[in-house]
Structure formats: C-alpha cells, structure tokens
Structure 1
Amino acid sequence: MEYAPIKELIAFSDFEKLDIRVGTITAVSEVEKSKKLMKLTVDFGDHVRSILAGIKQERENPFEIEGKQALFVVNLPEQKMAGEVSQGMLFDIGYADKLTPCLAMPETPMPNGSRAG
C-alpha cells in the first residue's frame, strides 16, 4: 500500500459538524440504472433511511452486508443518483487507498442511532 499524506489540519469544531451514527443494514438491493451503486435500507433506531453506496463492484457479494451494523454519515444533504435518493453516506475503510473496502463497524453490538465521536 502507498501511504497518503495526512490531510490539512482542521479545527475540532469542524469535526464536530459530522454526525456519524451506527445503523443496521436491514436490506440491500440493486440500483437498476447503476453499475456501481447498491441501495442500503438502514435502521437508525428512531427512523429508517435509504443510503446509496458504490459497493456493487467492490465486493463479490454486496448482499453479504445485510444484517450488519456499520457507521454512516447522516447529516449530508439528500443526493439523487441513478434515479434514487441517498439520505446519507456509508462510512467505509479502504476505498481511498485503492484497497478492497470494508465496513467501519462497532466491535460489539450497539443501539442503532448511537453516535460516533
């Protein structure tokens, strides 16, 4: 792996703007108009969201993450992609370094909606 330089320093107040929460992926489905995107239905405890993630070609079986908990950024504006709306972002590890991505997930089960940070 080639190590990337550390990004520019930010103020802690900038980091605090991110709302990263634990959610359980209750369903994974294909996005028909996309070669990369899969639609994740995610339970955050007090609500459920649809989150699109570019994992279709990154995994042999993108459906294998169904039922798993993972971290998601939930305070991004809704984004329309391939005819679907995404209400957040999967917070995974490895993609930026051209590695096979894996989920960022709690080591023990946590209540859905638990905040990171």
Structure 2
Amino acid sequence: MLTGSELLAAVKEFGDGSKSALVKSCGYVSKKKDGSDRLNFTAFYEALLEAKGVNLGDGGQVGKGGRKLSFVATVQGNGNLLIGKAYTAMLDLKPGDDFDIKLGRKQIRLKPVGSTEEEED
C-alpha cells in the first residue's frame, strides 16, 4: 500500500481513471472469503488525507475495555443516560462531583457547580 509522498505522486499521475482503479493501483485491496477483491476505500482516503497533512486525531481514544470511545450516549430503556467511566476519567471527575444541568433545545449541558463561563470550554 502506498503512503505519504508516494501515494500523492501516484494519485497525481493516475489522471482521470475510475476511483476503483485508483484505489486498486495504490494497493488498497484485500481478499474476501470467496477470493474476490475488496477495495478498501476508507483506508485509501485516510492515507491520502494523512499524506496531505490532514490530522484526523489519534484514531479515537480507547476505553478500559479496549473499545474506541464513540462520544455518543444512548438513553437506556429505563430513561437513564449513562456517560461512562472512560469519559469521566478523561475529565478527572470523582464520585461526589456536582453538576448543574442546563437544558437547551434538544441538548443537555452539564456544568460543574461553581464553575464560571470562561471555564466551560
């Protein structure tokens, strides 16, 4: 698989061919169980962005269970909204920390009790 300046040069040289052919020619191909080719467009575009100097982060932060943090919370069947230990640890929150709940239009904002507006972001 081409990366960095080699990938940029190959894309520049390729011209007006199909995207599928470009991805394949740069080596972003794997084999399916049935032996056919799978084109890895996502990996290709991520490598292309990285080669152009676009940083998309560290690939996602990982929680204790080894899963990437999604920064999405789902309301549970009982109506509770669980934040999770990985997130509270990132903010160094401790049991007993108090928050004011600010409700907006389709949003909930938690503000530490006693914090000022400047400290929020």
TM-score with structure 1 length normalisation? Answer: 0.18
More strand by share: 1
**What is the TM-score with the length of structure 2 in the denominator?**
0.18
